[in-house]
Every structure is written in structure tokens, then in C-alpha cells.
Amino acid sequence: MRPRAALPRFPSILFLLFLPPVFSSSSRPQWVPQRVPVVLAQQTEARSAPHFLSPARLDVSSPCDPECHKKAPRPSYWDLQRLLAYETLNSDGQLTETAVAIYGYDPNTSPAYSSGSSGKAQRSHVRRKRQVFGHDGRFSISGQNHLLKYPFSVAVKLSTGCSGTLVGDRHVLTAAHCVHDGKNYVKGAQKLRVGFLKTKHQDTQALSFDLSSNFTNHVEGGHVPYAPPTNDKMKFQWIRAKRTHVPKGWIKGNANDIGMDYDYALLELKKPHKRRHMKLGVSPPALRLPGRRVHFSGFDNDRSGKLVYRFCRAGEETSDLLYQHCDAQPGASGSGVYARMWDGQRRRWERKVIGVFSGHQWVERQGASQEFNVAVRITPLKYAQICYWIKGNFVDCREG
């Protein structure tokens, strides 16, 4: 892959590369309402207490490339019920498993829905993991006027070292590997905490612009140039997680062997976080995304104590995974990948989480090495499941 050339200073970047697109009312990228299936909890049984022995991995990898995923056999209806069954870990250490029923879904007429657990790609003997592609295109976000306002305020840090995204009044979406290694729950998962980044003191320097017309608005279609915010000393305010939901599609064995299709989890906090959260959305085809771009913010571990924002062009995709070259480092996994499009029903622009940043893939493909950073797409079935976890009923989860 060709490295990206070094980029000029901020104003030049925005003026030359990210001039806002002009859309007519009929051509602007829109969220398309769709009826989603029902994933309904059935029987719940107690399971033996987890061990909590292994440290959490801050990234996962898989040798299965896009073609490998596309060639995987389509799961049957019964396979999907098994994959979407889930475990719930409570803060007191009790563990349950819940079977689910699926209604309103026909795997024979739906898009291919690969499990990602089969197919092989040839590995090279020399492996060089790279999660920053060419010039590092990440932006550190700081300053109270930024961190405490939407959309950056929805990004949170997990005590296991990953990132997450607020998707409810007390719910956080993250990656399953942040709490479970595929075999058992990781060290720290029972006493999991979620950190909200705040400044240690009130900002004394007034900033020249408001976040309502910030950098992300510009690259998503706004008009105001970006100026780097001031740096302030930061701290985390922590809230304990009350329970954690993990789909059984992730819990099969070693995380490297099962792909990334089910690498997502939902945390319920012990008390409301009192911040604005981001809505869930069913992942649209990459071609329908504005500029074909995706965005996410997280806490990369090479920039300690800083929130890091990035955006990039979405690449290949399968029904469950989105491949891209968004620059990221361990610690960013679990971040909510989002897009901003027009909501015709509410008559406004709306950001929605359409995936979860999972990790890295490095494969030999047609004699050449290729690398991807990978996000798990929120499919209609996954939307129905996650929404049910948040709402506690299926009635409020019929439209994605």
C-alpha cells in the first residue's frame, strides 16, 4: 500500500480536501428507515462463575480476509439463534446464559450473513503489524468546550483499557474482546468501570468557535475551519458497570479463531451518566455513506489521557464487517464507528453508530500482503439484539 503523503496544516487540509458537499433535498445522503427482525429473550439459565484470569487484549486479529468471509457458508435460522444467544455477567460475579428466538427474519432472502469462522488465508512468515497507514491522520481532542460536548462526549474509556460509546442513558457499546477472550471473562471484567474524561479545572481561555460548528461537522458537511484546541490536564470520572451482555457468537473458543463478526458487547451502568448518547443505526452499504467516510473517537494507548478522533474512507465490506484504513492503536478498539446523514422523518442531520471498531487483519492475498483495520457492522439482527438489551422490549426496536 502506498503511504499517504504528509498533510499540510489544518486550514489547508480542510479547504482543499473537505469542502462541504452540496446536496439537493432529494440527493443528500439519508438514513433509510427499515423494519428490523425481532430478537426475543427466551429461557435464561445460570452458568458457573467465570475465572477472570487472563488480561484483556486491547486488539484482536484474524487471518480471514474479505474473500474468506464472503465464502463462508450462510448460517441457518437455527445457527443464528445459537449465535445471537447471549451471556450476562453481573457485577456480583453471577453469570447467566439466555436463549433467543428470532422472528421476522428469513436467511434465504436476506443478504449473505457470514459467521466469519471458516475459510483460510495464507500467512507469511514475516509479520509486521501496522495500524497507522502512512501519515498518522489522528487528531487529539482536548479542552472542556470539546470533550464535554457532543459528539466527542459519547466516547468513554473502559477500565480494561478499551474504549466504548454511549448508546443509552446508562448503556455503553464496546467490543466483546474488551471483556471476554473467547474462552472466559478477562481480569477486571467483574469490577468493570467506565471512565468519562473531564477537565481538572474550568477552562480559562475562551475558544474562538463553538462545537456546534466543529471539525467533525466540517468533514461531515459543515463550513467552519478547524483550529487545534488548547491542552488541559484531564481526569476520568468512573462509573461501575452493573451487567455485561456478550453474544454467544463470540464465545466459542480462542478469539483469533472465530473472526470478528460478533466482537461486540453492551454494558449497563449502575447509574445514569447524564450525557447525551448516540443513537444506533443499521449499517448502510459503504457506497451510501457521505463521502464513503466513517468516523470514530477512542482512547488510543499511545496518547495517554487524550481522546483521539479520526475519519477515513470505508473500503471493502462483507455483510458483517467493514474494512478501512482509519489510523488506530490498541486502546481504540470498542469505539463506536458512526456516520452522519439526513433523517427525513425528524428533518435534521443525525449521527448514528453503525459499527464497533474491532481490530486488525493482516493477510497474504494474491501473493501480496494486505492489512486492514476492521469494524463490526450493526446488521438488522444485531441492531435488534442490542436494542433489546437497551430497551428491555422489542416494541421499541422494530425500526432501525
pLDDT tens-place string over residues 297-330: 999 988 888 899 999 888 888 889 998 888 888 8
Mark whether 333 is an active-site residue: yes
The whole-angstrom separation of Cα 394 and Cα 136 is 42
Mark whether 181 is an active-site residue: no
> Per the residue annotation, which of 333, 335, 358, 360 is the catalytic one?
333
Distances (CA, A) of 56 to 52, 59, 156, 197, 391: 10, 9, 17, 21, 28
Residue 180 buriedness (CB in 10 A; 0-12 / 13-18 / 19+): buried
The whole-angstrom separation of Cα 393 and Cα 388 is 5
Over its C-alpha atoms, the chain yields an Rg (Å, rounded) of: 20
> Per the residue annotation, which of 212, 223, 257, 396 is the catalytic one?
257
Helix/strand/coil for 156: strand
User: Can the peptide bond before residue 151 be classed as cis, meaning omega within 30 degrees of 0?
Assistant: yes
The whole-angstrom separation of Cα 213 and Cα 211 is 5
Which stretch of 131-135, 203-207, 358-362 has the lowest confidence by average pLDDT?
Answer: 203-207
Mode of pairing for the β-strands spanning 234-247 and 86-90: antiparallel
Asked if 28 and 397 touch (Cβ cutoff 8 Å), the reply is: no
Which stretch of 189-193, 244-248, 252-256, 357-361 has the lowest confidence by average pLDDT?
Answer: 252-256
Per-residue pLDDT band for 229 (boundaries 50, 70, 90) equals: very low
H or E segment at 297?
strand 293-298
Which stretch of 10-24, 103-117, 184-198 has the lowest confidence by average pLDDT?
Answer: 10-24
Q: Is 137's pLDDT higher than 80? A: no
Q: Which residue has the higher pLDDT, 51 or 199?
A: 51
The whole-angstrom separation of Cα 355 and Cα 340 is 13
Q: Give the CATH number of domain 28-397.
A: 2.40.10.10
The whole-angstrom separation of Cα 289 and Cα 379 is 15
> Per the residue annotation, which of 69, 177, 180, 295 is the catalytic one?
177
Mark whether 177 is an active-site residue: yes
Which stretch of 31-35, 68-72, 273-277, 392-396 has the lowest confidence by average pLDDT?
Answer: 68-72
- pLDDT value at position 219? 56
Mean pLDDT, the chain, rounded, equals: 79
Which stretch of 95-99, 169-173, 265-269, 307-311 has the lowest confidence by average pLDDT?
Answer: 307-311
